[in-house]
Amino acid sequence: MEITHIEHIGIAVKSIEEQLPYYEETLGLKCYNIETVEDQKVKTAFFMVGQTKIELLEPTSEESTIAKYIERRGEGVHHIAYATKNLSKALKHMEEKGVRLIDNEPRKGAEGLNIAFLHPKSTGSVLTELCEHPE
Ligand code: ZN
C-alpha cells in the first residue's frame, strides 16, 4: 500500500459558523467549500493547508456519530485521513495485517472522494480514514 500524504484532518465542532473566524481571520485560511454529507449527517467545511485540508465536521442531527462524539469527548480532533493510491487494495492489505475495518468497502465521502474508516481499536486509538481520489 502507498500513502502519498495526509489528505485531511477532521475536527469535530458544534458550530462551523462559530469556528470560522478562528480559521479565516486568525489563522488566515480560506474556507473554499461547505458541504453537507447527508448519509453521515454532517456539515463539512474545508480549508487548504498546503496539500492537506482541515475538515470541520458539524453534526446536522443528534443521531450523527459526530454529535455522539462531541457529547462523549467534546469538540476537537476527530480523525486523520491518509491519501492512498488504490483504496480497495489498501483495505485488503489492512485486513491481512489484522486491522479491524469500519468500512469493508470504499464508499463516497465529502468532495467525491472514495473513503473507508479503520477501527480505532486497531490504530492506537486514532480514528483513521483512508481516501482515494477517483480517477
Ligand atoms: Zn474525513
Cα(79) to centroid(ligand 1), Å:
7
Sheet holding 114-118, edge to edge: 31-37, 42-49, 52-59, 3-12, 76-84, 128-132, 114-118, 107-108
pTM of the complete model: 0.92
Tell me: the pLDDT tens digits for 97-130?
999 999 999 998 888 899 999 999 999 999 999 9
Cα(105) to centroid(ligand 1), Å:
16
Tell me: the pLDDT tens digits for 72-97?
999 999 999 999 999 999 999 999 99
Please give the backbone phi and psi of residue 37, each rounded to the nearest 5 degrees, phi first. Answer: -105, 100
Please choose, from the candidates 107, 135, 129, the residue with its C-alpha nearest in 3D space to the C-alpha of residue 3.
129
Cα(14) to centroid(ligand 1), Å:
16
**Which architecture does CATH list for 3-132?**
Roll (3.10)
Cα(96) to centroid(ligand 1), Å:
23
Cα(92) to centroid(ligand 1), Å:
20
